Amino acid sequence: MSALPKGYVLVDAPDRIDAAAAHAYLTRSYWAEGIPLETVERSIAASLCVAVQYEGRQVAFARVVSDYATFAYLADVHVIEDHRGRGLSHAMLEHFLAHPRLLGLRRWALFTLDAQSLYERYGWSRYPYPERMMTRDDPDVYR
């Protein structure tokens, strides 16, 4: 697993995940703009989450939604701008990929606009059968 720089701590205990900090980033993200805090809290409660803290403050976050048998969806991966370029996203991804409950899954999925190169390093690729993929999106759900 990637070593975190001095002062950074990776946490995965549910009581150490800061929903308000995740919300502060997600509400201004391109994928969850305007998301209510209550929705973020519910998503965290129903997911396997990891965060990175620095000086007691959450500066990175990611979560996985899974049946823990066949499939996992990686979501809400983010690193606060002032802490980027320090390997935090790598540490979170490696944590999930080595997590005992997530080993042996047949398929992982994620959506990203601009981080394909990050995920390709960990075995993700563009879906080769886009004709099989469907989504149901409601872009106004948080308005």
Instruction: Supply the DSSP string of 69-128, one letter for each residue.
Output: SSEEEEEEEEE-GGGTTSSHHHHHHHHHHH-GGGTT-SEEE---SS-HHHHHTTT----S
Instruction: Return the DSSP state at 16.
Output: G
- Structural domains in the chain, CATH included, are 8-125 (3.40.630.30)
CB 48 within 8 A of CB 31: no
Q: How many residues does the chain have?
A: 143
- The alpha-carbon radius of gyration of the chain (Å, integer) is 15
- Show pLDDT as tens, one digit a residue, over the chain (143 residues): 678 999 999 999 999 999 999 999 999 999 999 999 999 999 999 999 999 999 999 999 999 999 999 999 999 999 999 999 999 999 999 999 999 999 999 999 999 999 999 999 999 999 999 999 999 999 889 98
